[in-house]
Amino acid sequence: MNDLLIRNVRPWGGVARDIAVTNAVVSSGAPASAEVVDGGGRILLPGFSDAHVHLDSSRIGLPFRPHSTPPGPLWNQIMNDREHWRDAEASVTERATATLGSAIAHGMTSGRSYAQVDADCGLERLDGVLAAREAHRARVGLEIVAFPQAGLLLEPGVPALVEEALRQGADIVGGIDPCALDRDPRRHLDAVFEIAERHGADIDIHLHEPGELGAFSAREILRRTRALDYRGRVTIAHAFCLSELDALAAGALLDEIAELDVALTTIAPSGRAALPLAEILGRGIRIGLGQDGQRDYWSPYGNTDMLDRAWQLAFTNGLRRDDDIEQALGVATLGGVAVSRGRSAVGPDRGVGVGSPADFVLVDAETPTSAVMDRPGGRTTIRAGRVSAENGELR
């Protein structure tokens, strides 16, 4: 029985009221004998959805480690991670489970994690992410991408590993930089789409490639999406190229992304890579926000708090108006839900109306915008009508 009565909360900062949950969904009447949560006048928002996280690389909670990544091409960074990850003070299972738990305590209720699959680690890192999902099954809805971080073609046996990962519980076929990494965009993308079709799986491709190179790869992804009628089933992650093309070229690409219902995810990077958020949202393109790797062998940044990342999205896009910042908060919450499960999975009335999934976070703030600015603690996370965390502690 996932019934709950949430008393005295302000949905999206509106007027205080009670919210009844029956069978994990917001209902109109009060449930008969439900658990009661005292909202204490806090803001109620849809739970955070981390649409792009690498749970298998995180060192959150372990001793801080000086950054060791050499500069240069992506391959150097991949090899740096490969050199070090087995020496972590805790196993991938422990690290992924702790990191996911911390994110839940900060308000996460759903998301999508990558699990690296390559010739070095085999399925060992996938096992860790699967274990983390199992440990938190009641607290979070997590999709897992079988992610060939080191390419599909450069080392032997990787496509077969991706297929085995799908059989063992991964949901989505990953890909990465078809030109820059594998240096064979046709074979890379053909392999990704073939595996996905064979397993009936969706697709999620990391695209760091810059400018016109990235646009070329994006168009190749779109061409296959159209040919195989994979509408609504493909995500392009990062897509830095979109911010580097001129407005006309970016607009044309975004038009086709919208037409084919391809989703985007961003980690709200700094500098020139910030995605053109208004152009994306204006076209109704599904877009989610993610925390990427966190305090790992790649980067010292990241802290499992999607509200911090929502601030980062607002900041990097120069948003100041309250409605714009609430839209960024929408990307951090319902955005990921739409990326994972489609628009229909987002409940009515910005995810808090009758019929919405009872996945919420309660935040002690005056308004949604002040919540983004202050990123206050003292949150309550509710997943499927059950309290999953309170005051930074898992239930």
Binding site for a second copy (CB under 8 A): 63-64, 66-67, 69, 270-272, 274, 295, 299-301, 303, 312, 315-318, 320-322, 325, 365-367, 369-370, 373-374
Q: Enter the tokens of residue 284.
A: 């109704």
Q: How far is the CB of 382 from a second copy (least distance, A)?
A: 24
Q: How far is the CB of 75 from a second copy (least distance, A)?
A: 17
Crossing angle between the packed helical segments 211-227 and 247-259, to the nearest 10 degrees: 20
- Asked whether the beta carbons of 274 and 241 are under 8 A apart, the reply is no
- Asked whether the beta carbons of 298 and 69 are under 8 A apart, the reply is yes
Which residue lies nearer to a second copy by CB, 274 or 389? 274
Which residue lies nearer to a second copy by CB, 248 or 272? 272
Q: How far is the CB of 32 from a second copy (least distance, A)?
A: 38
Which residue lies nearer to a second copy by CB, 37 or 78? 78
Enter the DSSP assignment of 287: E
Which residue lies nearer to a second copy by CB, 66 or 200? 66
Which residue lies nearer to a second copy by CB, 8 or 303? 303
Pairing state of beta strands 234-238 and 202-207? Answer: parallel
Enter the DSSP assignment of 266: E
Q: How far is the CB of 251 from a second copy (least distance, A)?
A: 19
Q: How many CB atoms lie within 10 A of CB 77?
A: 18
Which residue lies nearer to a second copy by CB, 69 or 168? 69
> What single letter denotes the amino acid at residue 265?
T
Q: What DSSP letter does each residue of 229-297 carry, written as one string?
A: T-TTSEEEEE-GGGGTS-HHHHHHHHHHHHHTT-EEEE---SGGG---HHHHHHTT--EEE--BS-SSS
Q: Enter the tokens of residue 35.
A: 């658990």
Which residue lies nearer to a second copy by CB, 258 or 373? 373
Closest CA to 103 of 332, 351, 264: 332
Q: How far is the CB of 321 from a second copy (least distance, A)?
A: 5
Q: Enter the tokens of residue 349.
A: 């009335």
Q: How far is the CB of 330 from a second copy (least distance, A)?
A: 17
Strand, coil or helix: 366: coil
Closest CA to 51 of 128, 105, 109: 109
> What single letter denotes the amino acid at residue 291?
Q
Q: How far is the CB of 207 from a second copy (least distance, A)?
A: 19
Which residue lies nearer to a second copy by CB, 229 or 323? 323
Q: How far is the CB of 248 from a second copy (least distance, A)?
A: 19
- The span from the CA of 140 to the CA of 394, in Å, is 12
- Asked whether the beta carbons of 304 and 103 are under 8 A apart, the reply is yes
Strand, coil or helix: 251: helix
